[in-house]
Copies of this chain bind each other. A is one copy, B any other.
Amino acid sequence: MDVTMKVRELIELCRSEGVPLTQQRIEIYKALISSREHPSPEAIYRILKDNYPTLSLATVYNNLEVLSRLGVARKLNPLSDHVRYDGDMSSHIHFVCLDCKSVEDIEPDDLESFQIPDLPEDGRKLIAKSIQFTGICEKCQNN
């Protein structure tokens, strides 16, 4: 799907969700989907600031958060403000709440379907495999 099409979908989505549509939001989204680099807010800011000199870095942060909650962008590290570790190396799923940053272990009903096969490592050293769901937890939904 090309950029124009995806932008059109974003516009639809904002309207149906009652989220105001701003030029900045669209440009940030376009910059995001045009990049293959999994960019940081800073990186997107750098890309855009030549053409949009008044754009603020805080706006980029805000909008990427909005986009990820709309489901059109993925926050690769929703726990970015707190490093966290897990001593349980067995195969299970983490549900991370975008609001409160809590992490719940999810035990899938059908455990077998969640085995992650090994991949050809291509010179990489593989240490751990994770499945992560992101969303809003039950508690935050009720607030």
Contacts and interface: CB of A to CB of B under 8 A. Distances in A.
Given A72-B87, A85-B64, A132 B135 contact: no
Contact of A87 (B29, B120, B130): B29
Q: Quick one: which of A108, A123, A124, A131 has the most chain B CB within 10 A?
A: A124
A119 B130 contact: no
Stoichiometry, copies per complex: 2
A96 to B, nearest CB: 8
B130 A132 contact: yes
Contacts of A32: 85, 87
Interface size class of A (residues with CB under 8 A): 35 or more
Interface of A: 29, 32-36, 38-42, 61, 64, 67-69, 71-89, 93-95, 98, 103, 105-106, 108-110, 113-114, 116-117, 119-138, 141
30 contacts: A29-B87, A33-B87, A33-B88, A38-B85, A38-B86, A41-B85, A68-B85, A68-B127, A68-B128, A71-B89, A72-B89, A73-B85, A74-B128, A74-B130, A75-B84, A77-B79, A77-B82, A79-B80, A95-B124, A106-B119, A113-B117, A126-B133, A126-B134, A127-B135, A128-B133, A128-B134, A128-B135, A130-B132, A130-B133, A131-B131
Contacts of A78: 77
A10 to B, nearest CB: 10
A38 B84 contact: yes
